[in-house]
Structure 1
Amino acid sequence: MREEAENLDISDVTANWVNAVVLQAQIEERVKALADLSHTPLFFGRLDFTRPPGLGLAEGAAGERFYIGRRHVHDAEGDPLVIDWRAPVSTAYYQASRKNPMDVALRRRFGYTAGELTAYEDEALSGPAAEAAPAADGEHASRLLQQEIERPRVGPMRDIVATIQPEQDGIVRSGLSGTVCVQGGPGTGKTAVGLHRVAYLLYEHRERLARTGTLVIGPNRSFLHYIEQVLPALGELEVQQATVADLVLVPGVEVRGEDEARAATVKGDARMAQVLRRALRSHVTPPAEATVVVRGSRRWRVPAYEVEEIVTQLLERDMRYGAAREALPHRIAHAVLVRMEQAGEAPDDRVQDAVARNAAVKATVKAVWPLVDPAKLVLRLLSDAPFLAEHAEGLLSEEEQSAILWAKPARGVKSAKWSAADAVLIDEARDLVERTHSLGHVVLDEAQDLSPMQYRAVGRRCTTGSATVLGDLAQGTTPWATRTWAEALRHLGKEEAHVEELTAGFRVPREVIAYASRLLPSIAPGLAEVRSVRESPGSLSVREVAAGATLDEEVVAACRSALAHEGSTGLIAADVRIPALAAALEAAGLPYLSPGQETTRESRLTLVPASLAKGLEYDYVVLDEPAAVVAGEPDEPTGLRRLYVALTRAVSGLAVVHEGPLPEVLGVPEQSGNARTAA
């Protein structure tokens, strides 16, 4: 297929050189999309149907065989060799079961090692073979499926297209028109589900989304780097990725400050939107005098009260500030044209446009409805106490106003020490002035950590589109973290969204997730505990530092032990402990990476600050001093949620090393010498 695209001759099929350039660019994109991916097989399954799929049973109708893969592959005659996993016929590969075979006689799974086919496994779903086969032992009896889920993780996140489960597939294939919110605990695959949903929607609605655009929003750059190869592996190269900070980036506004927790919480509160709205509209003032337009020898007068009526009507229409300002001169010009017609003249649209550009009309607009720079508006709110008090009255208390006021007023926009929360306020003000462009679909991951104002910023990017919201309420680690999805969806502007909950865990071993779930009653009461399908005895160890040893020594020893196994290792610690552990690893001769750097077979250890651990996963995790992770946050509930995140990053094994007491809610694991293993 790639060679066919490369050898296309377009010399005689284009009308002009412009068309030729465009067509050549499209061909180059096609060739790029058909590039080989090392160690990524094109097909991973096969379906043998009892009859043609989607058709009624007809006498003599022969069954068909389809290979299922990441992308569509056809031969030189155009006949399909591999069916795209997103095609309707592929649904049966993920959804068919013996209870509901969906006309599938046999499902075959293929196993690969380093890109080479090394095994296959057949599952009879209907017919005599299915009746003779023994009953499946559990929901996930497939050995190849289990091996693929447990395969060591080296490098960035990979797709799960070969292991998508029925409950995940239902979310992936949900329609474009509706917004879906996915609540999923650690290891339930919510991030992968969101990314595969984008790939599916691009397959089903390619032309529409090509016009409107798609965007994946992650919590930080490390996370985006970790997931960036999933969509290209599925043949989707045009999906943009960004953080919320990237979305609200404003030229000339450099974020180089940091708010205290109290100030950031108030700035992120949805009430700030109303404060900004009031402050912006305060710039609109009643006209002081009539507007007099001179055309030739005639003077046309629009009295001040009539201009004020026009201004009031525009305000009542709740238009954006900029759009209303653009409409004002045309409204005044219309009033002048009415007078011209009453005087017997016959003005047309060209006359109205000329009047709207008249110097007197421009002067009135400038005085009544002046231009407002969003950054300057926010600057004045944060540095002018009387101005803030006037527009925050009844919305923010005096204490809250004091929390967000700058100690030293900035001399200008460029000299101001803006924070991330300030940038979101500027984005809100910018939208009040001029409408933000809306995309066709937005995926928002780790959504539980967003403030109401950040939700509004994301919601503005999909007002005419839909969204996939992914998160876990138990992993909220900001002071303003989401408490309920209903509240979050309201701020996002997607109250009609359907909320799905994933409770089956595929990544974190049962022993590890059960230990971490002891925190749930304290951090997210009422939230369902993840039920892991993977039982891995010995995957959890909790080790107290032995007498005569140091914490750093024990942590280094735990890292060496983890590195003896295949796969990646993450050393997670409180941010304040990172410098000491970095020095200890260097002294021990253990090279390490920082979050965002890609692991390789030669360099498999990553030193991870607890604040950056969310969304990442490692085969083996060494967790340093849980009490320090908790103490590193402003309050205990937030600290326990941060600890919950750190405890659930392991795919194969978790070693907890501590010197001080463990948080009381974790309880005391069973003792086994110096190393204590939690049941």
Structure 2
Amino acid sequence: MSSAPGSIDPAADPHIDPRTDPFADPTADPEAALAGERAHLAASRACLRRMREETEAIDLRDVGGNDVSNKIVTSLIQTRIAALADLADVPLFFGRVDGRFADAPDVSTGTAPVEVRADPSRPVERFWIGRRHVHDHLGDPMVVDWRAPVSRSFYRATRIDPLGVELRRRFGWTGGELTAFEDEHLTDPGEADGKSAILAAEIERPRVGPMRDIVATIQPDQDEIVRADLGQTVCVQGAPGTGKTAVGLHRVAWLLYAHRDRLNRSGTLVVGPNRSFLDYIQQVLPALGEVEVGQTTVEDLVANVPVKAADTPGSGRLKGDARMADVLRRAVWSGLAAPTEGLLVVRGSRRWRLPSYEIEEILDGLRGRDVRYGAARDMLHQRLAHGILVQMERAGESPDDRVQDAVARSKPVRDMVNALWPAVDPAKLVLRLLSEPEFLAEHADGLLTADEQAAILWAKPARGVRTAPWTPADAVLVDEVADLVSRTGSVGHVVVDEAQDLSAMQCRAIGRRCTTGSATVLGDIAQGTTPWAATDWSETLRHLGRADVRYEELTQGFRVPREILEFASRLLPHIAPGLAPASSVREAPGSLDLRAVDDPQAVDNTAATEAARLLTHEGSIGLIAADAQIPALAAALREAALDFRQLGTEADETRLNLVPASLAKGLEFDHIAVVEPAAIVEAEPQGLRRLYVVLTRAVSGLTIIHNRPLPDELSAA
């Protein structure tokens, strides 16, 4: 517990335990109680500063014994220093629980999760809950990591099941300054239930720039998903504003806390739909003290060839079809040949022969093994060499492993392996499939129709890998072949966001990155906008290679106001009839504004004027339109002398964002203006789903500017 006003400052005297000074009764003297909490904050920041300074002072000279070990240890220490950063504008703690718990909870970092049970016979203990663990000079906790077992009670305790908690306190912050607190006495039957004003303010707080963590506002159903065990793959179907992306990121942070040693060895990975999305979420994990999580897109994940072209919707859908995996498998293994003669190896003055029938037996044995093409090819060298060694032993010689290795590397063996089991270059094989109709027809027979084969062939023959007109879908095919040749490395956990937009082949590419780990699959069937978008999760999960999956559905929104969500949900019967409309805990009368413009030539200028008006409000602004309309809107914004950033470019961050509809997914803005919804719908086959995505990006207000009639599907029921 922090010092009350007038007591010794624990930050100035490290021998004073700040938790031994009782707080003033907040009902009798709230200002004194607030001062006590501020004193605890000051003491906690001083302790965090000491922890960082002690880490920085560690002498790393020759600690590992060699250069490699020294570099590893230095990297670990630097990561630890980065995790101990005290961000001035980020609250160090956001809550407190006072309770009687069965056991003194283990609140140190990196422990396996355990349940915390109530015990009325124990004295009251107080724990401040924050983004990272902070301890004093004695090693006792000043701030408990939100992932620690005792923190679970902060998120899940209720009056019906208080989990040992007698008081739950939430803190209000302005920047990095503690400005208010709010108490719930969970064991007091005389206290009426009420909504937390601080919780609501934190949920609704305007945001500018990248996505923030939601660690202070995690709800019980979200916490259940966040703390799912590492060995369990979780699929989260989440309506707009339900926090599914944040839940996925917080699950990574929790897994790294609970299973740090294991995941530090195997690694973790977040896969997002595009670079704009990754830029948007990039600060969440570092704010939680996790700085070593890889973040990538599918395109970057499979970047084995230079992508220079784009597929049509039809060819992209076919190249992403799961049948292509069988076409590629046939093509990879099609180069095997039967031996026409035996193997002759000369060593010194002796000649050794391996007859063709024994070579055939070796080939049959390798074909029947469940190994990659390249691994089997490497085995063939050794199997042929072993066959020669058997001949040597029959003749009375005693060859050892060195002799076998020398025979395996000999020219006769290498020549035979190249003839019978030729090496496969993934890019060259896919290039041949897409540019040679006869080769494609041979391996797609019975899998793809003649019309489908014609649809995926390149229009012009390509001369080489570097000059081929590679598309994103082609790069995924190359990655598939690379895995058929040599096994792709796996990480301990993968988070896949906007997974409903993945093709079967993209799912396979991600799935092979977590064959020995688990996954968190996030998305919303209603927001699928690709030609191959999922209509249910079973197919997506099957292609990801996840059989035993825990399915969760988030339907309660916290960010998008009810008025906006209900308006956008008019599209659901047309785009995802099997999904129930999401609800929202927020009501914001006046948050929806439909604005018709009589003159079609005035739409862009009206949008610029609306953007200028929205800039008078607090928070971020998104001006969203069909991709083709973005240049005209950019010109109108420049003419109005408005500072803006166009998503998809390298422009500096500003409050006003010009957003092509194709890049809006996964983002959110405090206020958005959507220009000509009809044009968004007409721009692509999944236009209604794209419009649903666009309409649900708003947190505080949605303005729709249109000259053309709104789509019929948005008409009131």
**Alignment TM-score, normalising by the size of structure 1:** 0.93
Does the 8 A contact of 1:154 with 1:599 survive in 2? Answer: no
Deviations 1:257-276 (A, max 9, x none): 11111111111111111111
2:191 aligned to which of 111, 133, 136: 133
Does the 8 A contact of 1:291 with 1:301 survive in 2? Answer: yes
Report what 2:83 is aligned to.
Answer: 33
Moved more, 618-627 or 47-56: 47-56
Hey, what's the Cα distance between the residues in 1 that align with 2:100 and 2:551? Answer: 36
Report what 1:49 is aligned to.
Answer: 99
Report what 1:243 is aligned to.
Answer: 297
1:656 aligned to which of 677, 689, 704: 704
Report what 1:178 is aligned to.
Answer: 232
SS at match of 2:530: coil
The residue type equivalent to 1:207 in the other structure is: D
Deviations 1:148-190 (A, max 9, x none): 0000011110000000000000000001111111110100000
Report what 1:631 is aligned to.
Answer: 682
SS at match of 1:469: strand
Does the 8 A contact of 1:108 with 1:122 survive in 2? Answer: yes
Report what 1:388 is aligned to.
Answer: 440
SS at match of 2:647: coil
Moved more, 484-493 or 541-550: 541-550
Does the 8 A contact of 1:156 with 1:599 survive in 2? Answer: no
Given the superposition, is the C-alpha separation of residues 450 and 21 from structure 1 closer, same or farther in structure 2, using an over 3 Å criterion? closer
Report what 1:280 is aligned to.
Answer: 332
Instruction: State yes or no: 1:462 paired with 2:514.
Output: yes
1:485 aligned to which of 520, 529, 537: 537
Given the superposition, is the C-alpha separation of residues 291 and 444 from structure 1 closer, same or farther in structure 2, using an over 3 Å criterion? same
1:65 aligned to which of 114, 126, 131: 126
Does the 8 A contact of 2:120 with 2:164 survive in 1? Answer: no
The residue type equivalent to 1:98 in the other structure is: R
2:158 aligned to which of 97, 105, 109: 97
Residue 334 of structure 1 and its aligned partner are, at CA, apart by 2.2
Report what 1:434 is aligned to.
Answer: 486
Report what 1:144 is aligned to.
Answer: 198
Report what 1:510 is aligned to.
Answer: 562
Residue 52 of structure 1 and its aligned partner are, at CA, apart by 4.8
Residue 12 of structure 1 and its aligned partner are, at CA, apart by 9.8
Structure number with the bigger relative contact order (C-alpha 8 A, sep ≥ 6) is 1
Report what 1:677 is aligned to.
Answer: none
Hey, what's the Cα distance between the residues in 1 that align with 2:63 and 2:437? Answer: 68
Residue 355 of structure 1 and its aligned partner are, at CA, apart by 2.3
The residue type equivalent to 2:688 in the other structure is: L
Query: What percentage of aligned pairs have identical amino acids?
Result: 63
Query: For 1:119-130, what aligned pairs fall within 5 Å after superposition?
Result: 119-126=180-187, 130=188
Given the superposition, is the C-alpha separation of residues 581 and 182 from structure 1 closer, same or farther in structure 2, using an over 3 Å criterion? same
SS at match of 1:614: coil
Does the 8 A contact of 1:340 with 1:346 survive in 2? Answer: yes
Hey, what's the Cα distance between the residues in 2 that align with 1:274 and 1:79? Answer: 58
Report what 1:231 is aligned to.
Answer: 285
Residue 377 of structure 1 and its aligned partner are, at CA, apart by 0.1
**Alignment TM-score, normalising by the size of structure 2:** 0.88
Report what 1:605 is aligned to.
Answer: 656
Instruction: State yes or no: 1:501 paired with 2:553.
Output: yes
Hey, what's the Cα distance between the residues in 1 that align with 2:67 and 2:401? Answer: 39
Hey, what's the Cα distance between the residues in 2 that align with 1:57 and 1:660? Answer: 65
Does the 8 A contact of 2:100 with 2:119 survive in 1? Answer: no
Report what 2:670 is aligned to.
Answer: 619
Hey, what's the Cα distance between the residues in 2 that align with 1:474 and 1:11? Answer: 56
Hey, what's the Cα distance between the residues in 1 that align with 2:237 and 2:611? Answer: 32
Gaps of 5+ in 1: 670-679
Does the 8 A contact of 1:45 with 1:68 survive in 2? Answer: yes
Hey, what's the Cα distance between the residues in 2 that align with 1:548 and 1:26? Answer: 60
Residue 113 of structure 1 and its aligned partner are, at CA, apart by 0.7
Instruction: State yes or no: 1:211 paired with 2:265.
Output: yes
Does the 8 A contact of 1:539 with 1:653 survive in 2? Answer: yes
Residue 541 of structure 1 and its aligned partner are, at CA, apart by 1.2
The alignment yields a C-alpha RMSD, in angstroms, of: 1.9
Instruction: State yes or no: 1:190 paired with 2:241.
Output: no
Does the 8 A contact of 2:117 with 2:164 survive in 1? Answer: no
Instruction: State yes or no: 1:296 paired with 2:363.
Output: no
The residue type equivalent to 1:86 in the other structure is: R
Report what 2:695 is aligned to.
Answer: 647
Hey, what's the Cα distance between the residues in 1 that align with 2:390 and 2:70? Answer: 53
Report what 2:585 is aligned to.
Answer: 533
Given the superposition, is the C-alpha separation of residues 290 and 434 from structure 1 closer, same or farther in structure 2, using an over 3 Å criterion? same
Hey, what's the Cα distance between the residues in 2 that align with 1:213 and 1:535? Answer: 41
Residue 330 of structure 1 and its aligned partner are, at CA, apart by 1.3
**Segments ≥4 residues shifted beyond 6 Å:** 11-14, 596-600
Report what 2:215 is aligned to.
Answer: 161
Does the 8 A contact of 2:643 with 2:656 survive in 1? Answer: yes
Hey, what's the Cα distance between the residues in 1 that align with 2:376 and 2:455? Answer: 33
Residue 58 of structure 1 and its aligned partner are, at CA, apart by 6.7
Residue 429 of structure 1 and its aligned partner are, at CA, apart by 0.6
Given the superposition, is the C-alpha separation of residues 629 and 6 from structure 1 closer, same or farther in structure 2, using an over 3 Å criterion? same
Count of residues in Structure 1 that have an aligned counterpart in Structure 2:
655
